[in-house]
Amino acid sequence: MRALIAVPLTSSFAGQLADLAVQVLIDEADLSPKPGLVDRRNNGAHTDLNLGLMHSSAYALRQTFQDMAEAASVAQDLDQSLREMLGQLGRKGESVMLETTGGVNTHRGAIWALGLLTAAAAFEPEHGSPADVAHRAAVLARLPDRFAPEVQNSHGLRACARYGLPGAREQAQAGFPAVVGHGLPQLLKSRAKGAGEQNARLDALIAIMAVLPDTCVLHRAGLEGLDTLQHGAQAVLAQGGSATLAGRRALRQLDDALLRLNASPGGAADLLASTLFLDRLESCMQRSAISWKP
């Protein structure tokens, strides 16, 4: 149950959460050089994706995130009816994405992760710490959705079943450990060490890659791909991160290795966007305090 009486968010606050979700998707796409992924330099391991498509997809999802924030702001509890409403909005968002991109999967995992986090933030704006928001998102992710179609055959489900590893569902249900325990602490640590903002974000992405069983990589390149990703990312961190000369060299080697394997860590990219979302959320909430106070 809510800690305080439910206060419907003004549409402007739900709009600000949606703006933040879109902005972190743009920032993730633009960040360069990202190993194996679409960025400002090239399309990584993709033939069907490019930076323009990532941007169009991100902007097209704004209404989805706003609808999710508004639904959560009027919900009485983090319960099955809110979970099912978010499921319906998430599936609608996936259709909008596919219409915008001509059928290419740009942000399926991001709709899931950022959708849950946006709703969790909107539900209790007065508790906006990363740990609180990730915890509420996990509560939502663990609830059943009676209207979810029986999907047995997604790339993620197949990879999880084949290799016995957790995927996007489990990451959310566990409270986004790759974000809260790795991406965010690394972002703050690299900033504190004096790294520039782009290098700090790259380090956060690398910290996520070092631990995440990314089902996109497993699907395309199996355990060899996952091993290459995780060991390559650990090597970048061991060399001092992306701001050092040796770290930059290790990053380039990881990019080359992933391209050779045709592997793209799309799950890690989504979780970097989630890291940036939680990082900026508290200041967004403080700025908006006036708009949601009764």
Ligand X SMILES: Nc1ncnc2[nH]cnc12
**One of 34, 108, 136, 182 touching ligand LTSJ6FE6 (CB under 6 A):** 108
Residue 37 contact, options ligand LTSJ6FE6, ligand X, none, Cβ 5-8 Å cut-off depending on partner type? ligand X
Residues whose CB is less than 8 angstroms from the CB of residue 251 and which lie 6 or more positions away in sequence, other chains included: 33, 35, 202, 206, 236, 242
Closest separation in Å from C-beta 193 to ligand LTSJ6FE6: 27
What is d(CA 60, CA 40) in angstroms, rounded to the nearest whole number? 20
Closest separation in Å from C-beta 277 to ligand X: 14
Residue 145 contact, options ligand X, ligand LTSJ6FE6, none, Cβ 5-8 Å cut-off depending on partner type? ligand LTSJ6FE6
Distances (CA, A) of 11 to 65, 68, 105, 122: 12, 11, 29, 11
* Number of residues written out for the chain: 294
29-68 positions binding ligand LTSJ6FE6, by CB under 6 A: none
User: For residues 21 and 240, is the Cβ–Cβ distance under 8 A?
Assistant: no
- The SS3 assignment for 157 reads helix
**One of 264, 272, 284, 288 touching ligand LTSJ6FE6 (CB under 6 A):** 264
Residue 92 contact, options ligand X, ligand LTSJ6FE6, none, Cβ 5-8 Å cut-off depending on partner type? none
Residue 44 contact, options ligand X, ligand LTSJ6FE6, none, Cβ 5-8 Å cut-off depending on partner type? ligand X
Determine if 271 is a binding residue for ligand LTSJ6FE6 (CB under 6 A). Answer: yes
Residue 186 contact, options ligand X, ligand LTSJ6FE6, none, Cβ 5-8 Å cut-off depending on partner type? none
Determine if 27 is a binding residue for ligand LTSJ6FE6 (CB under 6 A). Answer: no
Residue 255 contact, options ligand LTSJ6FE6, ligand X, none, Cβ 5-8 Å cut-off depending on partner type? none
**One of 168, 180, 205, 257 touching ligand LTSJ6FE6 (CB under 6 A):** 168
Closest separation in Å from C-beta 266 to ligand X: 4
Distances (CA, A) of 206 to 157, 189, 191, 236, 288: 24, 13, 15, 7, 32
Residues whose CB is less than 8 angstroms from the CB of residue 274 and which lie 6 or more positions away in sequence, other chains included: 24, 110, 113, 114, 117, 176, 179, 183
Q: Toward ligand LTSJ6FE6, which CB reaches closer, 110 or 284?
A: 110
Identify the burial level of 35 via C-beta atoms within 10 angstroms of its C-beta, where 0-12 means exposed, 13-18 middle and 19 or more buried: buried
- Ramachandran class of 44: left when φ > 0, alpha when ψ lies in -120 to 50, beta otherwise: left
DSSP H/E element including 271: helix 266-292
203-222 positions binding ligand LTSJ6FE6, by CB under 6 A: 212-216, 219-220
What is d(CA 250, CA 232) in angstroms, rounded to the nearest whole number? 7
Q: Toward ligand LTSJ6FE6, which CB reaches closer, 208 or 236?
A: 208
Burial 203-228 (b: 16+ CB within 10 A, else e): bbbbbbbbbbbbbbbbbbbeeebbeb
Q: Toward ligand X, which CB reaches closer, 215 or 288?
A: 215
**One of 2, 42, 56, 145 touching ligand LTSJ6FE6 (CB under 6 A):** 145
User: For residues 10 and 292, is the Cβ–Cβ distance under 8 A?
Assistant: yes
**Residues engaged in binding ligand LTSJ6FE6 (CB under 6 A):** 86-87, 90-91, 105-112, 115-116, 145, 148, 151, 154-157, 167-169, 171, 212-216, 219-220, 264, 266-267, 270-271
